[in-house]
Amino acid sequence: MYEHYTHEAIKVIMLAQEEVRRLGHNSIGTEMLLIALISEHSGVAAKALKSAGLSTAQVRVEVEKVVGRGSGFCGIDIPYTPRAIEVVERAYLKARELGSKRIDTEHLLLSLLDEGEGFGIRALENAHVDITDLKKKCLDMLEARNIASEASKLLTIQQGDVVLVSFEMLEDDGKVNRKRFPMIVMSSNDCISRLSVITMIPLTPSVEHKVLDPLDTVITARSTDGKSAGLRHDSVAASTFVYSYPKRWIEAKIGTLSRETVNNICTQIIKLIEPSE
């Protein structure tokens, strides 16, 4: 059933099951999907809900006001309510309508909002959320992500390139701001061409990176490497922090490190993960 779901959408289903158990119910309703969508955190749906001023704790409170707590009995296989089944089935159509081959968190949220009724909608209304405005926020965020994804396809990225990776940060006032951070591409060129996710390590200004780890690499802005990498400040390549991000998060390429430096960083990473004697 979930072969056409993204990793984030599958996580939503798993979180919905956890919410059913937490509240002592025996089926997944639209209200459980709603809690799961915001508690997933990284998807478009979670960001749209949070930009509407909601928090996971608040949604849980509103849902519990609507459905209360159950008897505590819950089987191994948790069924969906009829209305939740409609939401899940319509999410597939919503994904196709929006040009996606896979069901993601935004498709589940938009489908839930289109339902117009149910405990999930009632919880949102009790929290004074404008449903129409929430749909618009979700669609706007989806469009922004798609634009960034298309732009990333035009970039030719290779191992050792220094790129700007864009993150959506939720501020204290509920607004979602986009911030960019420099990262070094560490995936092999073969992996970059085949996979949608790239392994990178961060470049941190040395003034912020006060305690150097023996595995870190310092790159000064005035050095040949620093100029080639497009650095404005002396920076530290933190080999102890290795991340994987979707290609679509890359906004721009600002430079390239020398092969010698890249090889050195790769050696440091290998030291970090090599087995002990």
DSSP 138-196: HHHHHHHHHHHHHHHHT----TTEEEEEEEEEE-TTS-EEEEEEEEEE-S-HHHHHH-S
Q: Where exactly does CATH 1.10.1780.10 map onto the chain?
A: 7-148
pTM over 0.85: no
With beta carbons less than 8 A apart as the criterion, state whether 35 and 56 touch. yes
Q: Where exactly does CATH 2.30.30.110 map onto the chain?
A: 155-273
Rounded Cα gap, residues 113 and 87, in angstroms: 9
What does the pLDDT average to over 99-119? 92
Rounded Cα gap, residues 258 and 161, in angstroms: 9
User: What is the pLDDT, as a whole number, of residue 119?
Assistant: 95
pLDDT above 90: residue 83: yes
Calculate the CA 224 to chain-centre distance: 35
Mind listing the pLDDT tens digit for each residue in 249-264? 888 889 999 999 999 9
| Confidence tier at 138 by pLDDT (50, 70, 90) | very high
Rounded Cα gap, residues 157 and 253, in angstroms: 8
Q: Write the single-letter amino acid at 208.
A: E
User: What is the pLDDT, as a whole number, of residue 210?
Assistant: 57
pLDDT above 60: residue 107: yes
User: What is the pLDDT, as a whole number, of residue 74?
Assistant: 67
In percent, the amount of the chain with pLDDT more than 90 equals: 51
User: What is the pLDDT, as a whole number, of residue 187?
Assistant: 93
Instruction: Report the 10 Å Cβ neighbour count for 120.
Output: 28
The CATH code of the domain at 155-273 is 2.30.30.110
User: What is the pLDDT, as a whole number, of residue 170?
Assistant: 60
| E strands, the chain, in order | 161-170, 176-185, 197-205, 217-219, 235-237, 243-246, 250-256
Rounded Cα gap, residues 73 and 64, in angstroms: 17
- Residue whose structure tokens are 């006060």: 210
pLDDT above 60: residue 208: no
| Helix (H) or strand (E) segment spanning residue 25 | none
Rounded Cα gap, residues 117 and 157, in angstroms: 46
Mind listing the pLDDT tens digit for each residue in 23-58? 999 899 999 999 999 999 888 999 999 999 999 999
The CATH code of the domain at 7-148 is 1.10.1780.10
